[in-house]
Amino acid sequence: MTQNVSVDDDTARDLLEEMLRIDIFEEETKERFGEGEIPGFVHLSGGHEGSHVGMGAAMRDDDWLAVGGARLIGQYIAKGVPLPEIMAELYGRVGGSNKGHGGQMHVSDVDRRLYGHAATIGSGQNPAVGLGLAEEMKGTDNVAVTTIGDGGTSRGSFHTALVFAAYWDLPVVFIIENNEWAISTPAESLSPDHLSDYGIPHNMPTESIDGSDVEEVYHTVAEAIERARNGEGPTVIESRVVRLVPHFEGDKETYRDEEAYERAKEEKDPIENYRERLLENDVITEDELEDMVANIEAEVEEAVEFARESPEPEPEAAYDHVYQLPLYGQGEEQ
């Protein structure tokens, strides 16, 4: 059965393009990591692209995003951080968004209102509440969106953030990307029917949606953001997705049922499904799609070149950014 397209054609093409951008960028990241060019861990977003992109499209440029969970890179892209800056940061180079101080788990872009990521899962939600408080104190109608995985909802800090956001009705949208796995621990053993139910005792609006449907995410998050902008307080959204990739590159995934995994790939790949949907609804042609992919591949290629050509930081740069000096009262500026 053909699904209708619920957004205008330009928006639909943008949503598909952005999902493909994440996919192609991450495939390249996987290759570069495999070749030993990228240090540390790499966690990829496969299966989450619809959730990331729907959310990103629902946000205004001046809304904050505080990333949580372990599917990171796709969210950085969805918030509009330029690909070369992300790739150079993955490489740990000076041209990276964080000059190599952050890496995969800590891409920040304050000008684009990307707060960054709390790499200790579940610790990014209270800062998001603080961002919401700051915007409210400053009298703007900007909101803070914060994401977390199913695993992170077991942290007390997540629940504290709900308490604090509800206490002052702050403009915060909590998105739980439930991909059913906290590394190897299944979410189905958690008690709530839907993880968004954690918002119920706080009298927050809650939604549980198919997060692999980019349009559904876009509409639901846009409504939650609208409520927050209008002073109607926080929302909790469970965005149900599948993890079509290992927890991190190198994870053998011995804990997964192969048959169910194959079925998930077949049925819940947000990009494949949306591509078919747009083709069937004549929103895009095969030729246009090919051009789109070719353009993104070129963009990603440029990002890799930028990262490779960007210098390694000088060792002395390790001492930068610990403190802003002089401290107050020292020196002559104050």
Q: Which of residues 161-180 bind other proteins (CB under 8 A)?
A: 161, 163-164, 167-168
Binding region for other proteins (CB under 8 A) out of 4-12, 130-138, 206-214, 240-248 = 130-138
Contact with other proteins (CB under 8 A): which of 2, 35, 36, 137?
137
Q: Positive or negative CA dihedral for 40, 42, 43, 45? A: positive
Using the rule CB under 8 A, is 211 a contact of other proteins?
no
Using the rule CB under 8 A, is 315 a contact of other proteins?
no
Nearest to 202 by CA among 155, 239, 170, 154: 170
Using the rule CB under 8 A, is 153 a contact of other proteins?
no
187-190-194 Cα angle (round to 5)? 80
Count Cα atoms within 13 angstroms, Cβ side, for 204.
34
Using the rule CB under 8 A, is 40 a contact of other proteins?
no
Using the rule CB under 8 A, is 334 a contact of other proteins?
yes
Tokens 């914060």 found at: 146
Using the rule CB under 8 A, is 281 a contact of other proteins?
no
Give how far Cα 55 sits from Cα of 49, 76, 77, 89, Å.
10, 12, 12, 23
Using the rule CB under 8 A, is 25 a contact of other proteins?
no
**DSSP state, residue 102:** S
β-partners of residue 178 are: 240
Using the rule CB under 8 A, is 108 a contact of other proteins?
yes
What is the binding site for other proteins (CB under 8 A)? 64, 66, 96-103, 106, 108-111, 115-116, 118, 120, 123, 125-135, 137-138, 144, 156-157, 160-161, 163-164, 167-168, 320-324, 326-330, 334
